[in-house]
Amino acid sequence: MAAVDLATHPGHLARRLQQAHYLLWNTMVSEETTSPQFAVMNALVAEPGLDQRTVGERVGLDRSTIAEVISRLSRRELLHKVRDPQDGRRSLLRLTDEGLRVHRKLTVRTARMNQVFLAPLSPEEQTVFFDLIRRVADAAEDLRNPAEPLVAQQT
């Protein structure tokens, strides 16, 4: 049996891309705040007062992951929860003043990191790259709750 060419496997390439992103994030942005934590903070800058479920949907995190991210940001006092006056079972999230300060600092760093990350591509290629990965990511969202169960084909 011959080895497969992993350069043609999107999952393999996505993992390598994620490894590069993780390395750049830790060296150029923050060792303390993760990329998913930054995404949550960013969502709350864009729309303060969202509930946890909605924030998770906005940034593409599942229920258990968003709960952990919220918990960590809360422990660091970067966000706080307040009970929704309309529904006491729900908490609304807002960044603290420190959370806003950290977000501002990280926003500048992420811009620099993105320049390094995308440096191998021309501006036109960057546009195509974003379009393609966004389309694949959007289609992957549909796989979370498919209308019909996916059935693995056997050969």
Question: Is the pTM for the entire model greater than 0.75?
Answer: yes
Q: Hunting for tokens 């940001």 — which residue is that? A: 73
Cβ within 8 Å of residue 10, ≥6 positions away: 136
pLDDT at 94 over 60: yes
In a domain? residue 24: no
Cβ within 8 Å of residue 69, ≥6 positions away: 34, 36, 37, 40, 61
pLDDT at 129 over 60: yes
Q: Residue 111 in contact with residue 29, Cβ under 8 Å?
A: no
In a domain? residue 136: yes
In a domain? residue 131: yes
In a domain? residue 70: yes
Q: What percent of the chain stands above pLDDT 70?
A: 92
In a domain? residue 107: yes
Q: What single DSSP character describes residue 32?
A: S
Q: What is the pLDDT of residue 87?
A: 86
Q: Residue 67 in contact with residue 53, Cβ under 8 Å?
A: no
pLDDT at 138 over 70: yes
What mean pLDDT do residues 52-79 have?
95
User: What is the C-alpha end-to-end distance of the chain, expressed in Å?
Assistant: 15
Q: What is the pLDDT of residue 39?
A: 98
Average pLDDT over the chain, rounded to an integer: 92
Confidence of residue 13 (pLDDT cuts 50, 70, 90): very high
Residue 110 belongs to what domain range?
A: 29-143
Confidence of residue 46 (pLDDT cuts 50, 70, 90): very high
In a domain? residue 130: yes
Q: How many domains does the chain have?
A: 1
In a domain? residue 6: no
Q: What is the pLDDT of residue 25?
A: 98
In a domain? residue 50: yes
- Residue 72 sits in a domain whose CATH number is 1.10.10.10
